[in-house]
Amino acid sequence: MARPGLIHSSPGLPDTCALLQPPAASASATPSMSGPDVETPSAIQICRIMRPDDANVAGNVHGGTILKMIEEAGAIISTRHCNSQNGERCVAALARVERTDFLSPMCIGEVAHVSAEITYTSKHSVEVQVNVMSENILTGAKKLTNKATLWYVPLSLKNVDKVLEVPPVVYSRQEQEEEGRKRYEAQKLERMETKWRNGDIVQPVLNPEPNTVSYSQSSLIHLVGPSDCTLHGFVHGGVTMKLMDEVAGIVAARHCKTNIVTASVDAINFHDKIRKGCVITISGRMTFTSNKSMEIEVLVDADPVVDSSQKRYRAASAFFTYVSLSQEGRSLPVPQLVPETEDEKKRFEEGKGRYLQMKKFPPWPKTRFTLRAGIV
């Protein structure tokens, strides 16, 4: 792949945006270190400065804001690739987000550099790797804050229920394709395993005791409007992820009553599209606590209130991990969750298994932030 060039956006836009596009192909083109060679631009970068309205209660950038930027970058590059050949036009819809880790906090006033690269394609899906860097524009210092892998599927503009084929890519090494195929098969299996939970509903409980699941469980109801949607009438994946992060944050704050911060997001599965006009209910409940971290399950249900022919359905689900922080940003012990029902005890043991697996095979380097937060 040729070394990408930088194209700046027009002046006066509220956000600074840069797209990485390769110049004309040449015989001396250098292959990508991690991704395949493709004829269309295989990497983009979106940049913008973090403003006060991006902050969470602790004063850092809201995790949901970062998740939304990650999805926007992934949607741009995958939609561009899926329309790189002549044929039926399409839009790339988010199907799954692999585990996403918050390696370091991002501060207000810093510039977020969100870079996305296509790393694998199957017949009907695109894998995109996204990295987020924060830049202190006063000192020039940069640091890696987030890494994520997303999967998109191309939906026809004529019929958004029709999944189209993805243009193939050319890999610089055969191992890249083989490794990508293994990742594809693994995520496909995991998506199938999550569907059995689709009938599970978070029910309110009167006068719950502190530290129980019922005490901190929370729900948010949102009417999907035009500003939440793509030009084609269904919700941006990034909008859904930000709402899920907000609900998970409320659950964590209610449980420990301190400042909290997103540490990681386990795989987010998007089971079905959410259309404009739907009323969505985002529900969160605590499933597991370790000494210094909390796992929260978040479920998204969509109710097509303007279409009586459709019933309420499960649209997305995920597990978020939060940590409790002092005013100085140091990790605090988490009150231990008290599961009461058999279902809560079962979810607690499942969460414990995920936690132990994560500790055994951590997907991030042991950065200063993760050590301070107490999640490794």
Active site members: 56, 245
- Long-range own/partner contacts, residues 153-156 (CB < 8 A, 24 or more apart): 153/92, 153/93, 153/95, 153/124, 153/125, 153/126, 154/78, 154/79, 154/82, 154/90, 154/91, 154/92, 154/93, 154/124, 154/126, 155/90, 155/91, 155/92, 155/93, 155/232, 156/88, 156/89, 156/90
CA nearest neighbour of 279 among 247, 230, 315: 315
CA nearest neighbour of 236 among 270, 194, 192: 270
List phi, psi (to 5°) of 346.
Answer: -65, -45
DSSP per-residue string spanning 158-191: S-TTPBPPPPP-B-SSHHHHHHHHHHHHHHHHHH
CA 268 from centre of chain: 7
